[in-house]
Amino acid sequence: MVMMKRLSLILILLLLTSCDDSKKHEVQQIDDVQGNQTELEQEKDKSPAFILNEIIEKAKRGLVKGSAFNVLDSEINQVKEKWGEPDSVDRAGSGYYATYKKEGITFGYNEKGEIFDVRSYSKELNNLAFTDIEEVAGSPKEKNEYNNDYIYTYEVTSDIQLKFVGPKNSGKVDHISVFNQKRTILLEDPYLLEIKGKSNQLSSTAWTSMQNWRKQIVNFSSGQENVFINGPNKKMVALTFDDGPDTTTTLAIIDILDEYNVTGNFFFVGSNVEKHPEIVRAAYEKGNLIFSHSYNHIDLAKLTKGELLIQMKKAEKAIEEVIGKRSAMLRPPYGETDELVAAVAKEQGYSIVLWSIDTLDWSQKEASNIVKNVIDNGRNGDIILMHSTEEQSETKKALPLIIEELQKRDFEIVGLDELLNVKAYK
Protein backbone atom coordinates (compact mmCIF):
# COMPACT_ATOMS: atom_id res chain seq x y z
CA MET A 1 0.00 0.00 0.00
CA VAL A 2 2.82 2.30 0.93
CA MET A 3 4.56 1.39 -2.30
CA MET A 4 1.45 2.34 -4.33
CA LYS A 5 1.28 5.75 -2.67
CA ARG A 6 4.93 6.37 -3.47
CA LEU A 7 4.39 5.45 -7.12
CA SER A 8 1.38 7.77 -7.30
CA LEU A 9 3.40 10.70 -5.91
CA ILE A 10 6.22 10.07 -8.40
CA LEU A 11 3.73 10.03 -11.30
CA ILE A 12 2.15 13.28 -10.13
CA LEU A 13 5.56 14.96 -9.86
CA LEU A 14 6.51 13.79 -13.35
CA LEU A 15 3.26 15.16 -14.75
CA LEU A 16 3.77 18.52 -13.03
CA THR A 17 7.34 18.75 -14.30
CA SER A 18 6.19 17.92 -17.80
CA CYS A 19 3.51 20.61 -17.66
CA ASP A 20 6.01 23.13 -16.33
CA ASP A 21 8.47 22.37 -19.12
CA SER A 22 5.68 22.67 -21.63
CA LYS A 23 4.70 26.08 -20.27
CA LYS A 24 8.33 27.20 -20.29
CA HIS A 25 8.60 26.11 -23.90
CA GLU A 26 5.41 28.03 -24.76
CA VAL A 27 6.71 31.11 -22.95
CA GLN A 28 10.03 30.82 -24.82
CA GLN A 29 8.13 30.54 -28.09
CA ILE A 30 6.12 33.66 -27.23
CA ASP A 31 9.32 35.51 -26.27
CA ASP A 32 10.94 34.45 -29.54
CA VAL A 33 7.94 35.69 -31.52
CA GLN A 34 7.86 38.96 -29.61
CA GLY A 35 11.60 39.31 -30.10
CA ASN A 36 11.22 38.79 -33.82
CA GLN A 37 8.38 41.29 -33.87
CA THR A 38 10.53 43.83 -31.97
CA GLU A 39 13.35 43.38 -34.47
CA LEU A 40 10.87 43.83 -37.30
CA GLU A 41 9.52 46.96 -35.65
CA GLN A 42 13.05 48.29 -35.23
CA GLU A 43 13.78 47.65 -38.87
CA LYS A 44 10.50 49.34 -39.74
CA ASP A 45 11.48 52.35 -37.59
CA LYS A 46 14.66 52.73 -39.62
CA SER A 47 12.91 52.66 -42.97
CA PRO A 48 12.85 55.96 -44.93
CA ALA A 49 9.05 55.89 -45.10
CA PHE A 50 8.70 55.55 -41.33
CA ILE A 51 11.30 58.26 -40.60
CA LEU A 52 9.73 60.67 -43.11
CA ASN A 53 6.19 60.16 -41.85
CA GLU A 54 7.37 60.79 -38.29
CA ILE A 55 9.20 63.96 -39.39
CA ILE A 56 6.14 65.27 -41.25
CA GLU A 57 3.74 64.59 -38.37
CA LYS A 58 6.01 66.36 -35.91
CA ALA A 59 6.55 69.26 -38.32
CA LYS A 60 2.80 69.86 -38.45
CA ARG A 61 3.03 70.61 -34.72
CA GLY A 62 6.12 72.77 -35.22
CA LEU A 63 8.46 70.15 -33.78
CA VAL A 64 11.49 68.06 -34.63
CA LYS A 65 12.43 64.79 -32.95
CA GLY A 66 14.47 65.33 -29.81
CA SER A 67 13.00 68.71 -28.89
CA ALA A 68 9.86 69.70 -27.03
CA PHE A 69 10.30 73.30 -28.18
CA ASN A 70 8.34 74.32 -31.25
CA VAL A 71 7.97 77.17 -33.75
CA LEU A 72 4.38 77.94 -32.73
CA ASP A 73 4.63 79.23 -29.17
CA SER A 74 8.10 78.45 -27.74
CA GLU A 75 10.71 81.05 -26.82
CA ILE A 76 14.48 80.81 -26.57
CA ASN A 77 14.40 81.63 -22.84
CA GLN A 78 12.40 78.45 -22.28
CA VAL A 79 15.14 76.48 -24.02
CA LYS A 80 17.83 78.12 -21.89
CA GLU A 81 15.93 77.34 -18.69
CA LYS A 82 15.78 73.66 -19.68
CA TRP A 83 19.05 73.13 -21.59
CA GLY A 84 21.25 75.96 -20.33
CA GLU A 85 23.24 78.36 -22.48
CA PRO A 86 23.85 77.35 -26.12
CA ASP A 87 27.28 76.33 -27.40
CA SER A 88 27.20 79.21 -29.88
CA VAL A 89 24.93 82.00 -31.12
CA ASP A 90 25.23 83.35 -34.66
CA ARG A 91 23.41 86.23 -36.28
CA ALA A 92 21.80 85.85 -39.71
CA GLY A 93 19.85 88.83 -41.06
CA SER A 94 17.66 90.06 -38.19
CA GLY A 95 17.51 86.65 -36.54
CA TYR A 96 19.76 84.68 -34.19
CA TYR A 97 20.66 80.98 -34.27
CA ALA A 98 21.49 79.19 -31.01
CA THR A 99 23.21 75.82 -31.39
CA TYR A 100 23.07 72.99 -28.85
CA LYS A 101 25.65 70.48 -30.08
CA LYS A 102 24.89 67.68 -27.61
CA GLU A 103 21.21 67.68 -28.56
CA GLY A 104 21.95 68.17 -32.28
CA ILE A 105 19.44 71.04 -32.39
CA THR A 106 19.68 74.67 -33.53
CA PHE A 107 16.98 77.25 -32.78
CA GLY A 108 16.36 80.36 -34.88
CA TYR A 109 14.69 83.17 -32.94
CA ASN A 110 13.76 86.79 -33.50
CA GLU A 111 14.47 89.98 -31.53
CA LYS A 112 11.57 89.17 -29.21
CA GLY A 113 13.04 85.76 -28.42
CA GLU A 114 10.32 83.89 -30.29
CA ILE A 115 11.50 80.71 -31.99
CA PHE A 116 10.70 80.64 -35.71
CA ASP A 117 13.08 77.90 -36.87
CA VAL A 118 14.04 74.56 -35.32
CA ARG A 119 16.75 72.55 -37.04
CA SER A 120 17.64 68.94 -36.31
CA TYR A 121 21.02 67.41 -37.14
CA SER A 122 20.05 63.91 -35.96
CA LYS A 123 22.27 61.17 -37.42
CA GLU A 124 19.25 59.13 -38.51
CA LEU A 125 18.56 61.85 -41.09
CA ASN A 126 21.73 60.79 -42.90
CA ASN A 127 19.88 57.61 -43.95
CA LEU A 128 17.42 59.66 -46.00
CA ALA A 129 18.10 60.20 -49.68
CA PHE A 130 16.41 63.02 -51.56
CA THR A 131 14.96 60.36 -53.88
CA ASP A 132 13.32 58.76 -50.80
CA ILE A 133 11.79 62.08 -49.84
CA GLU A 134 10.14 62.61 -53.22
CA GLU A 135 8.95 59.01 -53.30
CA VAL A 136 7.19 59.34 -49.94
CA ALA A 137 6.25 63.04 -49.79
CA GLY A 138 5.93 63.85 -53.49
CA SER A 139 7.53 66.78 -55.28
CA PRO A 140 8.53 69.69 -53.02
CA LYS A 141 6.97 73.12 -53.36
CA GLU A 142 10.47 74.48 -53.95
CA LYS A 143 13.63 72.70 -54.99
CA ASN A 144 16.72 74.91 -54.71
CA GLU A 145 20.49 74.58 -54.82
CA TYR A 146 22.63 76.79 -52.61
CA ASN A 147 26.32 76.52 -51.78
CA ASN A 148 26.47 72.94 -53.17
CA ASP A 149 23.45 71.88 -51.10
CA TYR A 150 20.02 70.68 -52.15
CA ILE A 151 17.13 72.37 -50.31
CA TYR A 152 13.69 70.72 -50.62
CA THR A 153 10.86 72.79 -49.14
CA TYR A 154 7.39 71.44 -48.27
CA GLU A 155 4.44 73.32 -46.79
CA VAL A 156 3.03 71.12 -44.03
CA THR A 157 0.53 73.74 -42.80
CA SER A 158 -0.44 77.23 -43.93
CA ASP A 159 2.26 78.69 -41.67
CA ILE A 160 4.89 75.98 -41.35
CA GLN A 161 7.50 74.91 -43.88
CA LEU A 162 9.56 71.74 -43.64
CA LYS A 163 12.97 71.90 -45.33
CA PHE A 164 15.38 69.07 -46.08
CA VAL A 165 18.99 70.20 -46.60
CA GLY A 166 21.97 68.13 -47.70
CA PRO A 167 25.05 68.11 -49.94
CA LYS A 168 24.52 67.46 -53.65
CA ASN A 169 27.49 65.12 -53.87
CA SER A 170 26.02 62.63 -51.37
CA GLY A 171 22.33 63.03 -52.21
CA LYS A 172 21.58 62.44 -48.50
CA VAL A 173 19.98 64.72 -45.91
CA ASP A 174 22.28 66.57 -43.49
CA HIS A 175 19.60 68.37 -41.47
CA ILE A 176 15.97 69.43 -41.49
CA SER A 177 14.38 72.78 -40.68
CA VAL A 178 10.88 73.37 -39.36
CA PHE A 179 10.16 77.00 -40.13
CA ASN A 180 7.26 79.24 -39.09
CA GLN A 181 6.75 81.85 -41.81
CA LYS A 182 4.29 83.88 -39.73
CA ARG A 183 6.74 84.42 -36.88
CA THR A 184 9.36 85.82 -39.22
CA ILE A 185 6.97 88.69 -39.99
CA LEU A 186 7.61 89.80 -36.41
CA LEU A 187 11.29 90.34 -37.22
CA GLU A 188 12.24 93.97 -37.41
CA ASP A 189 13.42 94.96 -40.85
CA PRO A 190 17.19 95.31 -40.77
CA TYR A 191 18.68 98.69 -41.53
CA LEU A 192 20.34 97.66 -44.77
CA LEU A 193 21.18 100.35 -47.30
CA GLU A 194 21.42 100.14 -51.06
CA ILE A 195 24.82 100.94 -52.50
CA LYS A 196 24.72 104.39 -54.12
CA GLY A 197 27.01 106.33 -56.44
CA LYS A 198 27.06 106.99 -60.19
CA SER A 199 29.61 107.59 -62.91
CA ASN A 200 29.09 109.10 -66.34
CA GLN A 201 32.33 107.44 -67.46
CA LEU A 202 31.04 103.86 -67.32
CA SER A 203 29.65 102.05 -70.36
CA SER A 204 26.05 100.84 -70.16
CA THR A 205 27.34 97.26 -69.90
CA ALA A 206 29.72 98.12 -67.05
CA TRP A 207 26.99 100.09 -65.24
CA THR A 208 24.50 97.20 -65.53
CA SER A 209 27.11 94.78 -64.24
CA MET A 210 27.87 97.07 -61.29
CA GLN A 211 24.17 97.40 -60.42
CA ASN A 212 23.74 93.64 -60.47
CA TRP A 213 26.80 93.16 -58.26
CA ARG A 214 25.51 95.72 -55.77
CA LYS A 215 22.20 93.92 -55.36
CA GLN A 216 23.89 90.55 -54.99
CA ILE A 217 26.40 91.71 -52.40
CA VAL A 218 23.76 93.49 -50.30
CA ASN A 219 21.63 90.33 -50.30
CA PHE A 220 24.69 88.26 -49.43
CA SER A 221 25.63 90.51 -46.52
CA SER A 222 22.15 90.22 -44.99
CA GLY A 223 22.79 86.54 -44.30
CA GLN A 224 26.32 86.95 -42.90
CA GLU A 225 27.11 87.80 -39.31
CA ASN A 226 30.49 89.38 -40.07
CA VAL A 227 29.85 91.21 -43.38
CA PHE A 228 28.86 94.89 -43.23
CA ILE A 229 27.52 97.22 -45.92
CA ASN A 230 26.61 100.07 -43.57
CA GLY A 231 26.26 101.04 -39.94
CA PRO A 232 23.11 101.60 -37.83
CA ASN A 233 20.40 104.19 -38.41
CA LYS A 234 22.23 106.91 -36.49
CA LYS A 235 23.63 110.27 -37.54
CA MET A 236 27.09 108.83 -38.11
CA VAL A 237 29.17 108.00 -41.19
CA ALA A 238 32.65 106.60 -41.86
CA LEU A 239 35.17 107.76 -44.46
CA THR A 240 37.21 104.88 -45.89
CA PHE A 241 40.22 104.88 -48.21
CA ASP A 242 41.44 101.87 -50.21
CA ASP A 243 44.58 100.72 -52.02
CA GLY A 244 47.28 102.85 -50.40
CA PRO A 245 49.58 103.82 -49.03
CA ASP A 246 51.36 105.93 -51.60
CA THR A 247 53.66 108.94 -51.17
CA THR A 248 51.33 111.67 -52.42
CA THR A 249 47.56 111.19 -52.08
CA THR A 250 47.74 109.22 -48.81
CA LEU A 251 49.89 111.88 -47.15
CA ALA A 252 47.53 114.63 -48.31
CA ILE A 253 44.48 112.74 -46.97
CA ILE A 254 46.19 112.24 -43.60
CA ASP A 255 46.84 115.98 -43.34
CA ILE A 256 43.24 116.89 -44.29
CA LEU A 257 41.76 114.48 -41.75
CA ASP A 258 44.05 115.91 -39.10
CA GLU A 259 43.09 119.47 -40.01
CA TYR A 260 39.38 118.73 -39.61
CA ASN A 261 39.99 116.53 -36.57
CA VAL A 262 38.10 113.53 -37.98
CA THR A 263 38.99 109.85 -38.08
CA GLY A 264 39.79 108.12 -41.34
CA ASN A 265 39.73 104.38 -42.03
CA PHE A 266 42.54 103.15 -44.28
CA PHE A 267 42.35 99.75 -45.96
CA PHE A 268 45.97 99.33 -46.98
CA VAL A 269 47.39 96.71 -49.33
CA GLY A 270 50.01 94.65 -47.47
CA SER A 271 52.67 94.87 -50.17
CA ASN A 272 52.27 98.67 -50.24
CA VAL A 273 52.58 98.79 -46.45
CA GLU A 274 55.99 97.13 -46.78
CA LYS A 275 57.04 99.77 -49.33
CA HIS A 276 55.88 102.80 -47.30
CA PRO A 277 55.82 101.90 -43.59
CA GLU A 278 56.51 105.49 -42.55
CA ILE A 279 53.24 106.65 -44.16
CA VAL A 280 51.25 103.89 -42.45
CA ARG A 281 52.83 104.91 -39.15
CA ALA A 282 51.95 108.57 -39.76
CA ALA A 283 48.31 107.69 -40.49
CA TYR A 284 48.10 105.61 -37.31
CA GLU A 285 49.80 108.16 -35.07
CA LYS A 286 47.36 110.84 -36.28
CA GLY A 287 44.50 108.77 -34.84
CA ASN A 288 43.30 106.96 -37.96
CA LEU A 289 42.50 103.26 -38.15
CA ILE A 290 44.59 100.87 -40.24
CA PHE A 291 42.96 97.83 -41.80
CA SER A 292 43.70 95.09 -44.31
CA HIS A 293 42.98 95.18 -48.03
CA SER A 294 44.75 91.83 -48.67
CA TYR A 295 48.44 91.49 -49.45
CA ASN A 296 48.45 91.61 -53.27
CA HIS A 297 45.08 93.24 -54.10
CA ILE A 298 43.65 90.21 -55.89
CA ASP A 299 40.11 88.81 -56.15
CA LEU A 300 39.78 86.77 -52.95
CA ALA A 301 36.64 85.01 -54.19
CA LYS A 302 38.77 83.16 -56.76
CA LEU A 303 41.16 81.69 -54.20
CA THR A 304 41.33 78.45 -52.25
CA LYS A 305 41.26 78.50 -48.47
CA GLY A 306 45.03 78.10 -48.35
CA GLU A 307 45.55 81.00 -50.73
CA LEU A 308 43.11 83.15 -48.74
CA LEU A 309 45.03 82.50 -45.55
CA ILE A 310 48.27 83.61 -47.22
CA GLN A 311 46.70 86.89 -48.36
CA MET A 312 45.20 87.57 -44.94
CA LYS A 313 48.20 86.58 -42.83
CA LYS A 314 50.85 88.36 -44.94
CA ALA A 315 48.87 91.62 -44.91
CA GLU A 316 48.24 91.23 -41.19
CA LYS A 317 51.93 90.72 -40.50
CA ALA A 318 52.94 93.74 -42.63
CA ILE A 319 50.55 96.02 -40.70
CA GLU A 320 51.49 94.61 -37.29
CA GLU A 321 55.18 95.19 -37.89
CA VAL A 322 54.47 98.89 -38.42
CA ILE A 323 51.78 99.77 -35.84
CA GLY A 324 52.16 96.86 -33.40
CA LYS A 325 48.54 95.79 -33.79
CA ARG A 326 46.72 93.20 -35.88
CA SER A 327 43.80 94.46 -37.91
CA ALA A 328 40.38 92.97 -37.16
CA MET A 329 38.74 94.38 -40.29
CA LEU A 330 39.19 93.30 -43.88
CA ARG A 331 37.97 94.77 -47.14
CA PRO A 332 38.32 92.32 -50.02
CA PRO A 333 39.62 93.95 -53.23
CA TYR A 334 36.79 94.94 -55.59
CA GLY A 335 34.38 94.00 -52.77
CA GLU A 336 34.36 90.42 -54.07
CA THR A 337 33.15 88.22 -51.25
CA ASP A 338 31.56 84.78 -51.05
CA GLU A 339 30.77 82.09 -48.46
CA LEU A 340 34.36 80.85 -48.28
CA VAL A 341 35.86 84.33 -47.95
CA ALA A 342 33.37 85.21 -45.20
CA ALA A 343 33.94 81.91 -43.36
CA VAL A 344 37.75 82.11 -43.47
CA ALA A 345 37.63 85.79 -42.44
CA LYS A 346 35.43 84.92 -39.46
CA GLU A 347 37.72 82.05 -38.54
CA GLN A 348 40.68 84.47 -38.56
CA GLY A 349 38.86 87.06 -36.44
CA TYR A 350 37.97 89.55 -39.21
CA SER A 351 34.88 91.61 -39.87
CA ILE A 352 34.42 92.16 -43.61
CA VAL A 353 33.58 95.81 -44.27
CA LEU A 354 32.25 96.89 -47.66
CA TRP A 355 30.51 100.21 -48.41
CA SER A 356 27.13 101.87 -49.01
CA ILE A 357 28.36 104.89 -51.01
CA ASP A 358 30.88 104.48 -53.82
CA THR A 359 32.34 107.85 -54.82
CA LEU A 360 33.67 106.17 -57.98
CA ASP A 361 36.75 108.35 -57.67
CA TRP A 362 38.60 105.79 -59.79
CA SER A 363 36.17 106.45 -62.68
CA GLN A 364 35.04 110.06 -62.23
CA LYS A 365 38.19 112.11 -62.04
CA GLU A 366 36.55 115.47 -61.29
CA ALA A 367 36.35 116.46 -57.62
CA SER A 368 32.85 117.90 -58.14
CA ASN A 369 31.48 114.49 -59.19
CA ILE A 370 33.12 112.76 -56.25
CA VAL A 371 31.52 115.25 -53.85
CA LYS A 372 28.14 114.94 -55.58
CA ASN A 373 28.05 111.16 -55.07
CA VAL A 374 28.39 111.66 -51.32
CA ILE A 375 26.17 114.71 -50.85
CA ASP A 376 23.33 113.50 -53.06
CA ASN A 377 23.18 110.12 -51.32
CA GLY A 378 24.25 110.71 -47.72
CA ARG A 379 22.25 108.66 -45.17
CA ASN A 380 22.57 107.61 -41.55
CA GLY A 381 25.18 104.90 -41.13
CA ASP A 382 26.83 105.30 -44.53
CA ILE A 383 30.27 103.80 -45.18
CA ILE A 384 31.85 105.95 -47.89
CA LEU A 385 34.39 104.46 -50.29
CA MET A 386 37.32 106.49 -51.64
CA HIS A 387 40.89 105.64 -52.67
CA SER A 388 44.31 106.90 -51.65
CA THR A 389 46.73 106.33 -54.53
CA GLU A 390 48.39 108.61 -57.06
CA GLU A 391 45.60 108.04 -59.60
CA GLN A 392 43.07 109.63 -57.22
CA SER A 393 44.58 113.09 -57.01
CA GLU A 394 41.05 114.58 -57.29
CA THR A 395 40.02 112.74 -54.13
CA LYS A 396 42.24 114.94 -51.97
CA LYS A 397 40.54 118.00 -53.56
CA ALA A 398 37.09 116.57 -52.89
CA LEU A 399 37.70 115.44 -49.31
CA PRO A 400 37.55 118.87 -47.54
CA LEU A 401 34.28 119.68 -49.31
CA ILE A 402 32.82 116.30 -48.33
CA ILE A 403 33.79 116.73 -44.67
CA GLU A 404 32.43 120.28 -44.48
CA GLU A 405 29.09 119.34 -46.06
CA LEU A 406 28.64 116.26 -43.84
CA GLN A 407 29.36 118.33 -40.75
CA LYS A 408 26.88 121.01 -41.87
CA ARG A 409 24.28 118.27 -41.98
CA ASP A 410 25.22 117.25 -38.42
CA PHE A 411 26.76 113.92 -39.37
CA GLU A 412 29.40 112.67 -36.95
CA ILE A 413 32.40 111.28 -38.86
CA VAL A 414 33.74 108.30 -36.91
CA GLY A 415 35.95 105.25 -37.01
CA LEU A 416 34.46 101.99 -38.26
CA ASP A 417 34.86 100.42 -34.83
CA GLU A 418 32.52 103.03 -33.37
CA LEU A 419 30.11 102.98 -36.32
CA LEU A 420 29.75 99.18 -36.41
CA ASN A 421 30.37 98.51 -32.72
CA VAL A 422 33.04 95.91 -33.53
CA LYS A 423 36.71 95.82 -32.55
CA ALA A 424 39.30 97.48 -34.77
CA TYR A 425 42.20 95.26 -33.73
CA LYS A 426 42.60 91.68 -32.53
- Which residues are the active-site residues? 242, 387
For residue 264, report the phi and psi dihedrals to the nearest 5 degrees.
Answer: -105, 160
Quote the CA–CA distance of 115 and 366 in Å, as a whole number. 52
Helix-helix angle 393-408:249-260, to 10 degrees: 20
Q: For residue 34, what is the enclosing H or E element?
A: helix 2-46
Quote the CA–CA distance of 216 and 235 in Å, as a whole number. 26
Quote the CA–CA distance of 266 and 337 in Å, as a whole number. 19
Alpha helices in 47-147 (DSSP H): 48-60, 76-83, 130-137
Q: Cis omega (within 30 of 0) on the bond before 400?
A: no
The answer to whether the beta carbons of residues 312 and 349 sit under 8 Å apart is no
The answer to whether the beta carbons of residues 329 and 315 sit under 8 Å apart is no
Question: What is the DSSP code string of 350-417?
Answer: -EEE--SEE--TTT--SHHHHHHHHHTT--TT-EEEEE-SGGGHHHHHHHHHHHHHHHHTTPEE--HH
Quote the CA–CA distance of 279 and 338 in Å, as a whole number. 32
Determine how many CB atoms are found less than 10 A away from the CB of residue 292: 28
The answer to whether the beta carbons of residues 107 and 69 sit under 8 Å apart is yes
The answer to whether the beta carbons of residues 403 and 251 sit under 8 Å apart is no
- Cα-Cα-Cα-Cα dihedral sign, residues 19, 24, 29, 30: positive
